[in-house]
Amino acid sequence: MSSASAEIGRRAEQAAAQHLLEAGLSLLARNYSCRLGELDLVMQDSNQLVFVEVRYRGNNQFGSPLESITPTKQRKLRAAANVYLKQLSKQPSARFDAVGVSPSSKAGQEFNIVWCKNAF
């Protein structure tokens, strides 16, 4: 991944995190990594743990950002989430959300954000 692509990805992930924080969620971890995969954001929504996959697409030519979360990627996210959960003393209720980020065509807005709760 080029440094320009990495920077866009970092900014998109930050915009997604900010959107969720403004919606009332609390950030617990960012880029949690284990041998089975990576979780972009781990957040708390009331009594529920939320594992968030953030996807950026520069255009929708090959589908939306949310459509890019394949069954294989979902399996990797579940595996990484299980590792995260095993580290906790208490097993909270959990869900997987997805946030699609794309460039905004509106002046003054950098990104369009689509948040899908219970995505898979």
pLDDT digits (tens, 9 = 90+) for 31-85: 999 999 999 999 999 999 999 999 999 888 888 999 999 999 999 999 999 999 9
Answer yes or no: pTM beyond 0.85. Answer: yes
Structure-token match 């959107």, residue found: 19
pLDDT digits (tens, 9 = 90+) for 9-19: 899 999 999 99
Cβ of 107: how many Cβ atoms within 10 Å? 5
